[in-house]
Amino acid sequence: MTLPIAQSEAGIGPDKFVTVGKYIDSVDAHMARGMLESAGIECFLQGENANNLLGAAFRARLLVHKQDEAAAREILGTPDNLDPEDDSSE
């Protein structure tokens, strides 16, 4: 997938984001996003709409810029070893 020039020049490609939380309940996902945004950390939810359609099958993922990962994990209290591919941990 090719990113638009503005995004690729700014260094905000998809490989620059990391998952810091996974949520079954969209309310929890939005609360966590709000906590990070209140702390000035840019973040977004991935899959939140799919979660609403089939909640048991999908989890909303909270992503932040790689350089903000440590601060985001500290705010959320999530472990550093969160495996973004493993949905069985919750």
**What's the pLDDT at 55?**
57
Residue 5 has pLDDT above 50, yes or no: no
Q: From CA 54, how far away is CA 84, in angstroms rounded?
A: 19
CATH says 16-76 is which class?
Answer: alpha beta
Helix axes 69-76, 26-38, angle to 10 degrees: 120
The model's pTM? 0.69
Reported as a pLDDT band with limits 50, 70 and 90, residue 11 is low
Domain limits, the chain: 16-76
Give the tens place of pLDDT for each residue, 34-87: 999 999 999 999 887 775 666 567 788 999 999 999 999 999 997 775 554 554
**What's the pLDDT at 20?**
95
Those residues with Cβ within 8 angstroms of residue 22's Cβ, 6 or more apart along the chain or in another chain? 59, 60, 61, 62, 82, 84, 87, 89, 90
